[in-house]
Amino acid sequence: MLQNKLYKQFEFIFLYAVLPALFVFDILSIKFLLATLWLMTFYSAYILKVTKCKFSLKLFDKNQLKYLLLRFFLLAIVFLFASYLCTPETFFHMAKNETKLFIFLLIFYPLVSVLPQELLYRVFFFSRYSFKLSKQKQTVLNAVLFSFSHTLFGSSLVLILTFIGGLIFSQTYLKNRSFLLVCIEHTLYGYLLFVSGIGELFLQKGTLDTIRTFF
C-alpha cells in the first residue's frame, strides 16, 4: 500500500500542503509546530526505511564543500550589507547583547530545526516521489512548498528568503545527494540570519521570550 500511486499522491498533498495550511489558517496552534514537524520527520524516516528508498548518508568531497562555502561567502557579504543598511538596529544585536542566548541557538538550531526540515523537504521529497519534471522544475516546486510551510510566520521577507533557500538547498541535494552537506549549508544560512538579526522572524511567537527566561 505504501507504494500505491494514489496513497503517495494523498501523502504528498497531506504532508506538503494540508498540514502547513492547518497552521496558516490557525486550525492548529503554532505551539504544536515543532512537534508536528518531528512527527512528519519520523514518518518520513519510517517510510524511507520500509520502502527501501534509495537514500544515502554519504559524505562529500572537498570540491563540493569548497563550492558550497564560496557561494555562501559571496551571498553572505551581500546579505549582511543589505541587512546593515535596512535594519542597523538589529544587526548583530543578539550576538553582542545576548551572547549566551545566541550560542544556545547556534547549538540547538541545526539539531532541532535543520535536521528534520532537510530530511523531510529534501531527502524524503526527492527520494520518495517520481516527478515527471525536469530537475529545474523539481527545484522550483520544492522551493515553493518549502516557502509555503513558512507562511504561518506572517512575514513576506520570510517567504522570499525561504523560497531562495529552497532553491539553493534543493540544487545542492540534487547535485550531490548528500544529506550531511545540505544540512551544513542550511545551518550556515540559518546562522547568517541570526547574525543579521532577522532570525527572530523564523521563530514561533513567544518562543524566544520563553527561552530568554533561562538566561
Per-residue pLDDT reduced to its tens digit, 53-92? 766 666 778 888 999 999 999 999 999 999 988 888 888 8
- Looking up cell 520502502, which residue turns up? 51
In this predicted model, which residue has the larger pLDDT, 19 or 176?
19
CA distance 101 to 212: 7
- The CA-atom distances, in angstroms, between 70 and each of 12, 124, 154 are 34, 27, 31
CB 174 within 8 A of CB 135: yes
Angle at CA 58, nearest 5°, toward 45 and 181?
A: 85
Q: What is the pLDDT of residue 207?
A: 67
Helix spans in 14-61 (H): 19-24, 33-50
- Residue 209 clears pLDDT 70, i.e. is over it: no
Per-residue pLDDT reduced to its tens digit, 156-180? 999 999 999 999 999 999 998 899 9
How buried is residue 194: exposed, middle or buried, by Cβ count under 10 Å (0-12/13-18/19+)?
buried
Q: What is the pLDDT of residue 38?
A: 95
CB 190 within 8 A of CB 118: no
CA distance 48 to 209: 37
End-to-end CA distance of the chain: 49
CB 90 within 8 A of CB 97: no
